[in-house]
Amino acid sequence: MLKEYFIRRALYLIPVLIFISFMSFSLIYIAPGDPAEIMMTSPSGGYDEAAVEAFRIAHGLDQPFYIQYLNWLKGAVVGDFGYSYMSEQPVFETVLNAFRNTLTLSVFALAIALVIAIPLGVVSSLKHNTVVDDACRLLALFGVSIPNFWQAYLMIILFSVILHWLPASGFGHGTDIRYMILPATVLGTGSAAVMMRMIRSSMLDVMGKEYIQTARGKGLSEKIIIIRHALKNALVPVITVVGLSIGFLLNGSVVVETIFGWSGIGNLVVDSILSHDYMMVQGSVLFVAVIFLLINFFVDLVYVWANPEIRYDRTS
């Protein structure tokens, strides 16, 4: 039953969630030196002895490690990640807002990636072992190998500086699509390449199946066979790559948002690191990890759901 599978998978999440919360919490302890000092150290490097002591007591840093962890966890569970040292805003709210922007950009990037990957993957598989296939594979190889920061600047030079088609950077209130095209394309490149490869090999696999020959035997046109009989089945394994792509997109967001001045979570983390806003870094990282974990969990369920063979096996 799907429900049982869901519960079992959900139970797996618990130890992982505990681990990642513990890792996020411990981050502050891997830093050389006293956490209170680190927290109270201003970007210029100085700190006030009395303020450190006050901070230590106020945040319970004089208590044993596990008590500190439990206290912190208690807050984190209800969305209390503390306050930013820089802006004095609640970390959770800031992170949530930034993440919303990252999500917008990522969804757009994912859409671009799929629009590129599906046709190229299908064509590449149908033209298996021809020049077209080689070209598509080479393109995919470039896609995963190109450094996104470099690609970003090349695209800015071409589309903004030379052609003046698109704005080089900026946020455009998060709604103006022109501001999203360049960053989303750069962000989606890696995912597009991985998905294209996946669709290609998946299509090759499916097109060799006997049921494709059966469909031909029924007099269906090649177009219908490819779309209805092959692509549908070939895309099922690609769902697993979508989860993976979310990782790609989140990773890419760090560099892409920094370059294009997009106020998302990647930008926030980099800014926070540069301004020594440790609470913000900790909160962002934990937040991203939890979201990433949940997305993968969800993708897993979609995969099971999209695969009738698995879906019904669990019913019987």
Partner 1 sequence: MSDVLLKVSGVSVSIPTGQGTVHAVDDAAFSINKHEVFSLIGESGSGKSILGQAIMRLLPPNAVFSGKVELDGTEISALSEKEMQKIRGKTVASIAQNPYLAMNPGIRVGTQVAEPMRAHLGLSKEEAKARTCRALKYFDILPPEVREREYSFQYSGGMLQRAMVAMGTAADPELIIADEPTKGVDVLKRRNIAAIFQKVASDGCAFLLITHDVGFARAMSDRIAVNYCGQIIEIAGKDAFFKEPLHPYSKALLDAVPERGMHPIPGSSPSMIEVPEGCRFHPRCPHKTERCLTDPPVVEMARRCVRCWLYA
Partner 2 sequence: MIELLKNRQIVLSLIILGGLIFMAIFANVLAPYACTEKDLQNRLQPPSSDHLFGTDNLGRDILTMVMYGARASLFVGFAVVSVSLAIGVALGVLAGYYGGWLDEIIMRLTDSFLAFPSMFLALAITAFLGQGMKNMMLALIAVEWTVFARVARGSTLDVKTKGYVRAARWIGASNTYVMIKHVLPNIISPVLIMASLGIGNVILAAAGLSFLGLGVQPSTPEWGAMLNAGRTYFTTAPWLMFFPGLFIMMTVLAFNYFGDGLRDALDQKMKNLELEGRF
What is the closest distance, in whole angstroms, from the C-beta atom of residue 201 to partner 1 in the complex?
A: 17
Q: Is 279 in the site for partner 2 (CB under 8 A)?
A: no
Binding segment for partner 2 among 42-50, 111-119, 142-150, 171-179 (CB under 8 A)?
A: 142-150
Interaction partner, residue 149 (partner 1, partner 2, none; CB < 5-8 Å by kind): partner 2
Round to whole Å and give the CA distance between 158 and 139: 19
Distances (CA, A) of 125 to 106, 136, 145, 229: 27, 10, 21, 15
The CB-of-306 to partner 1 minimum distance in angstroms stands at 9
Among partner 1, partner 2, none, residue 251 binds (CB under 5-8 Å by kind): partner 2
Contact between 110 and 187 (Cβ < 8 Å): no
**Interface segment toward partner 2; rule CB under 8 A; list 59-67, 88-96, 103-111, 140-148:** 140-148
Interaction between residue 316 and partner 2 (CB under 8 A): no
Nearer to partner 2, 106 or 225 (CB): 106
Nearest approach, Cβ of residue 70 and partner 2 (Å): 18
Cα 213 to Cα 229: distance, rounded to the nearest angstrom = 10
Longest alpha-carbon distance in the chain:
84
Both tokens of 273, joined, read 């690191």
Selection from partner 2, partner 1, none that 215 binds (CB < 5 to 8 A by kind) is partner 1
Closer to partner 2 by CB, 31 or 227: give it.
Answer: 31
Q: Is 269 in the site for partner 2 (CB under 8 A)?
A: yes
> Which of partner 2, partner 1, none does residue 303 bind (CB under 5 to 8 Å by kind)?
none
Task: Identify the bridge partners of residue 90 per DSSP, sorted by sequence position.
Answer: 83
Residues that bind partner 1 in the complex, under the rule CB under 8 A: 209-211, 213-221, 224, 228-229, 232-233, 236, 308-309, 312-313, 316
Judged by beta carbon distances under 5 to 8 A according to partner kind, the member of partner 2, partner 1, none in contact with residue 232 is partner 1
Tell me how far apart the terminal alpha carbons of the chain are, to the nearest angstrom. 8
Minimal distance, residue 127 CB to partner 2, in Å: 18
Tell me the C-alpha distance between 136 and 128, whole Å: 10
Q: Select the binding partner of residue 119 from partner 1, partner 2, none (C-beta < 5 to 8 A, by kind).
A: none
Q: Restricting to residues 88-117, which ones interact with partner 2 according to CB under 8 A?
A: none
The residues near 205 (Cβ < 8 Å, ≥ 6 apart) are 234
- Contact footprint for partner 2 (CB under 8 A): 12, 15-16, 19-20, 23-24, 27-28, 30-32, 38, 140-142, 144-150, 153-154, 156-157, 161, 193-194, 197-198, 201, 240-241, 244, 247-248, 250-252, 254-255, 258, 266, 269-270, 272-274, 278, 281-282, 284-285, 288-290, 292-293
